[in-house]
Amino acid sequence: MNCKFNQIRIHALLVWLISGCLFSCSSVRSVSTREPVKAVIQEARTYIGVPYQWGGLTRQGLDCSGLVQLSFRKAGLTVPRTTEGLLEVGKRVKLKKARPGDLLFFALSEKRNKVTHVGIVTQKERGKSPSFIHASTRKGVMEGSMDLRYYQKGFKEARRVVE
């Protein structure tokens, strides 16, 4: 019986080693399902500098919700394409409780009553405003901070999509 148990352990170890090699040696970039938030942020950062384009969904031009959708997709997560759709996913959290991977929503239009912008929290240190990545209409995809009055004034809500 002990010999059979050892054979099962050896077989399981071989399967684990072979599958690990197949997935890690693949030329296709894969994302660990155990770390989707890191994958989302890592992917979003690859778009820094891409110009803003309303409705854009390529490296030639992106809008804010397109950046969110592409970044989550690369991590194996499906989210809506529009800012309005993104407002319907996950659960609402307080800004001071926001953590990396959470979405920040803003009403930055002149009327400031309709959410028009979204970004992804990239960093949050205790007692400090979060940093986030987003597609700015003026500067394209960039990483910024909630310390700026412009974003503080336009902030509407934070939502957690990934637990």
pLDDT in tens, 16-39: 333 333 333 322 333 334 489 999
Query: Which value, to the nearest 10 degrees, does the dihedral of the CA atoms of residues 109, 51, 38, 17 take?
Result: 150
Confidence check: pLDDT of 10 > 70: no
pLDDT band with cut points at 50, 70 and 90 for residue 71: very high
- Catalytic option among 3, 21, 25, 117: 117
Which pLDDT score, from 0 to 100, does residue 4 have?
46
Sheet of strand 117-123: strand arrangement: 91-93, 155-160, 103-106, 117-123, 131-136, 140-145
Provide the residue count of the chain.
163
Average pLDDT score over residue span 69-94: 96
**The overall pTM is greater than 0.75:** yes
Which pLDDT score, from 0 to 100, does residue 132 have?
98
Known catalytic residue at 11: no
Q: What is the DSSP letter of 150?
A: H
Confidence check: pLDDT of 86 > 70: yes
Q: Residue 128 carries which side chain, given as an amino acid letter?
A: K
- Catalytic option among 3, 11, 25, 64: 64
pLDDT band with cut points at 50, 70 and 90 for residue 110: confident
Average pLDDT score over residue span 83-103: 96
Known catalytic residue at 117: yes
Q: Could you give the percent of the chain with pLDDT greater than 90?
A: 71
- Catalytic option among 11, 21, 25, 134: 134
Which pLDDT score, from 0 to 100, does residue 54 have?
96
Known catalytic residue at 134: yes
